[in-house]
Amino acid sequence: MIAVRVNGRHVTVEEGATLLDAARAAGVHIPTLCHHPGLPAHAACRMCLVEVSGEHDPQPACRTQARDGARVETDTDALQAFRRADAQWLLARHPNDCMRCEIDGACQLQTLVRENQWEDLWPKIPAGTVDAEDVLSKDHTSPSIWRDLSKCIECGLCADVCGESVQEQFVIGFAGRGFDRRPVTVFDAPLRETSCISCGQCTLVCPVGALIEAPHWHEVLQTLGAHRRVSVVQVAPATRVAISEEFGLTPGTVSTRRLINALRQLGFDYVFDTNFAADLTIMEEGSELLARLEAGTGLPLFTSCCPGWVNWVELNRPDLLPHLSTTKSPQQMHGAIAKRSGFVRSLGADFAEGRAEPYVVSVMPCTAKKDEARRPGQSGDVDHVLTTRELARMIRSRGIPFAALSDDGQFDSPLGESTGAAQIFGASGGVMEAMVRTAAHLKGADHDLPLEWEALRGVGQGIKTATIPGVGTVAVCNGIASAQHMLEGEGWRSAYVAVEVMACVGGCLGGGGEPKSMDPHILRKRAAAIYAVDADAPRRRSYENGDVQALYASELQSPNSPAAHRLLHTCYAP
């Protein structure tokens, strides 16, 4: 262990810890803008400079290792003056429009300015002035991600996460030097013209409003306020866990029932569960796998519920399209059923023939789901997709006291019933584990099989495999980079019968639309909550879902029937 003194307080930290770690262990706050626990430290913003005994110049706390016996000062007059000057430099280039910024209230630069009362450093912009450069700096071409370079503080986190540190997509990199240094796409093209897969990981690490999800919550609130159409909302498995963090609840708190109450207060007429459609997805995808196994074609089957992964295949490896499951994602299935099935019309007059079709909104942990909702052949199933972060903004804007809501909401029936298998969809490996539980059953091979497949669980980047008796060996690629690495060789073609790919590390619970978190263990905490919901569920296999069985009996006949294909399947375009 290493002993350090921070502002006179003694603290011991592990070998390799930084001065920032030591300060935090001592309860001392050091401001940072470019630091993220999951990414390399570049010390680009210089906000965390501290004075260290034995060093002539101030050192960046995020990148300097703690030395045994070092004495560190974090708040001397010289450091405070430097930070103020540093902020002045940043603000001279930053638009003064917090009122109009999507992430007003959740911006690290804004927080720094407010905490230190540095508002006077912001240059005054005459009312009504629209800077031509400001307009040019905006890129709203992607259906999922908005960029505004005028707000960029050049921390480098977006390039890191999109590049070699995590996703290995290299859509964003740095160009220019000194004052002109800025993050750009290849040839400075708008995002839509790049190979961006809409995963949104860059929006998750951006400390300001330079990269955000394409915002749709304003339109949703207006539509709900007008109340002209029957409104339906569905909630993804990962959202009900992570939304708790937006309202100060302990990470890993499951807020399903509280969330249902909040959605009703926002004005939704029906609150449904995406998990219902996840069970349905498993019935279709599991049957598809068995059909391919029997025919010996299209193997391995690749899951297709992650739109970032589907985008990647279409952009980079269209030769793999025949391997993608044609089953729609749960989001799209749920929308299709809410709008077009007799099962839902039977609910009553609200859905009777002749009325405008329901207005369908989904709440997802994912930015690429916005993109998916506009895919050819599927657009219209879902009207608007909100990220978990956007939903939190809506709840705050209407003053709903989320954390204080009673934890007793109930999903509407019949699109609200689900099993534990559907809940684990939200974690990397969950779709495959859910499919194994049902595919093994459909094959009559589940009698002695365990329900839980530990080998398929875990949030660490990489590939997980398990051999399922009677089915074959299956694989899980946790993160798009893992899939890329697997596909560089040819071994996967014969090694596996099915492969799950989730573009974000951790699966949906690490999705680009989830709350921003500086907790290095956040994925583990969210995953533990998801698996706990499954363990407590009265039914844990998708084929045990009574509403799903009723839907097949009343309308869809059987998995993969022509009726099921019309509503629940899609195709892909190279």
331 binds, among ligand HC1, ligand SF4, none (CB under 5 to 8 A by kind): ligand HC1
By CB under 6 A, the residues from 293 to 312 that bind ligand HC1 are: 305-306
The H or E element spanning position 469 is none
The window from 94-102, 107-115, 326-334, 561-569 that contacts ligand HC1 (CB under 6 A) reads 326-334
Among residues 87, 199, 301, 459, the one that binds ligand SF4 under rule CB under 6 A? 199
Output 32 or 275, the one with its CB closest to ligand HC1: 275
Token representation of residue 442: 């459909």
The window from 141-149, 406-414, 446-454, 504-512 that contacts ligand HC1 (CB under 6 A) reads 504-512
* Residue 330 makes contact with ligand HC1 by CB under 6 A: yes
Q: How many residues touch ligand HC1 (CB under 6 A)?
A: 20
Residue 247 burial (CB < 10 Å; 0-12/13-18/19+)?
A: buried
* Residue 337 makes contact with ligand HC1 by CB under 6 A: no
Among residues 4, 161, 242, 243, the one that binds ligand SF4 under rule CB under 6 A? 161
The window from 159-167, 222-230, 281-289, 463-471 that contacts ligand SF4 (CB under 6 A) reads 159-167
Token representation of residue 221: 């609130």
By CB under 6 A, the residues from 458 to 497 that bind ligand HC1 are: none
Token representation of residue 429: 């490996």
* Residue 395 makes contact with ligand HC1 by CB under 6 A: no
* Residue 145 makes contact with ligand SF4 by CB under 6 A: yes
- Do the beta carbons of residue 527 and residue 459 sit within 8 Å? yes
* Residue 212 makes contact with ligand SF4 by CB under 6 A: no
Angle ∠(303,520,148) on CA atoms, nearest 5: 75
* Residue 64 makes contact with ligand HC1 by CB under 6 A: no
* Residue 171 makes contact with ligand SF4 by CB under 6 A: yes
The window from 66-74, 99-107, 200-208, 260-268 that contacts ligand SF4 (CB under 6 A) reads 200-208
Alpha-carbon gap, residue 383 to 220, rounded angstroms: 9
305 binds, among ligand SF4, ligand HC1, none (CB under 5 to 8 A by kind): ligand HC1
End-to-end CA distance of the chain: 56
* Residue 58 makes contact with ligand HC1 by CB under 6 A: no
| Site mask for ligand HC1 (CB under 6 A), range 156-195, x = bound | ----------------------------------------
200 binds, among ligand HC1, ligand SF4, none (CB under 5 to 8 A by kind): ligand SF4
- Do the beta carbons of residue 210 and residue 148 sit within 8 Å? yes
Angle ∠(58,64,68) on CA atoms, nearest 5: 100
Supply φ then ψ for residue 418, to 5 degrees: -155, 165
- Do the beta carbons of residue 67 and residue 46 sit within 8 Å? no
Alpha-carbon gap, residue 20 to 143, rounded angstroms: 38
Alpha-carbon gap, residue 265 to 388, rounded angstroms: 17
Q: What dihedral do alpha carbons 541, 546, 550, 556 form, nearest 10°?
A: -20
Count of CB atoms within 10 A of residue 114's CB?
Answer: 13
Rg (CA), the chain: 25
Q: Which residues contribute to the site for ligand SF4 (CB under 6 A)?
A: 145, 161-162, 167, 169, 171-172, 196-202
Q: Residue numbers of the site for ligand HC1 (CB under 6 A)?
A: 236-238, 274-275, 278, 305-306, 329-331, 364-366, 369, 425-426, 507-508, 511
